[in-house]
Amino acid sequence: MIDPLVVLEVMVAIIVALFLGNILRATLKILFYVLIFVLVMVFVFGVSYNEMVSWVMKVVLWAF
């Protein structure tokens, strides 16, 4: 006989995994769009990759 508490724990683990999967999917989608933006800035507009990395680091340090 399976303990009801184990069934509840498995259900909670599945719900948490699905929730984290949605968060990871959204994060990867945003990261993909950011990467496309950076590539366009570097190849089309001639912005230096080092300038882009420096700008990203400034934004990250400002945010945190």
pTM: 0.60
The pLDDT assigned to 3 comes to: 80
Name the residue ranges covered by the structural domains of the chain: 4-63
Give the confidence band of 58 by pLDDT, cuts at 50, 70, 90.
very high
64: pLDDT strictly greater than 90 = no
Q: 10-51 pLDDT, tens per residue? A: 999 999 989 999 899 999 999 999 889 888 888 888 888 888
**One-character DSSP codes across 11-50:** HHHHHHHHHHHHHHHHHHHHHHHHHHHHHHHHHTS---HH
Cα distance between residue 54 and residue 49, in whole Å:
9
